[in-house]
């Protein structure tokens, strides 16, 4: 999954990382939480490089798990 942008260019701009101001951390967090909720018991891990949500997890319901080179995307590992 790509991180959510805050600059209304989600479909027209290129990928962004978690560092620029156009990165929507709160919206990306909601995307992660929604993905976990819809795949209840099946979304084993969600990988990211954004340190803030990583600090909130990695418990079963935690937002993301640290994984190098995931600055501009997230991966979901399903069971």
Higher pLDDT, 4 or 59: 4
CA 60, CA 44: separation in Å to the nearest integer?
Answer: 8
User: What is the number of structural domains in the chain?
Assistant: 1
Radius of gyration of the chain (CA): 12
CA distance 48 to 69: 8
> Is 6 inside any structural domain?
no
Position 36 in a domain: yes
Query: pLDDT at residue 18 above 70?
Result: yes
User: pLDDT tens across 39-68, in order?
Assistant: 877 877 888 888 887 777 554 455 788 888
49 inside domain = yes
In terms of residue numbers, what domain contains 42?
A: 25-78
Residue 33 lies in a domain: yes
Average pLDDT score, the chain: 81
Is 15 inside any structural domain? no
Global model pTM greater than 0.85? no
The Cα–Cα gap between 10 and 53 comes to 21
């Amino acid at each position: 999954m790509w991180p959510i942008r805050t600059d209304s260019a989600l479909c027209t701009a290129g990928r962004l990382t978690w560092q620029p101001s156009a990165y929507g951390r709160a919206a990306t967090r909601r995307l992660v939480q929604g993905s976990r909720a819809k795949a209840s018991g099946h979304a084993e891990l969600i990988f990211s490089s954004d340190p803030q949500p990583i600090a909130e997890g990695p418990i079963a319901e935690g937002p993301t798990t640290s994984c190098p080179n995931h600055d501009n995307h997230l991966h979901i590992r399903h069971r």
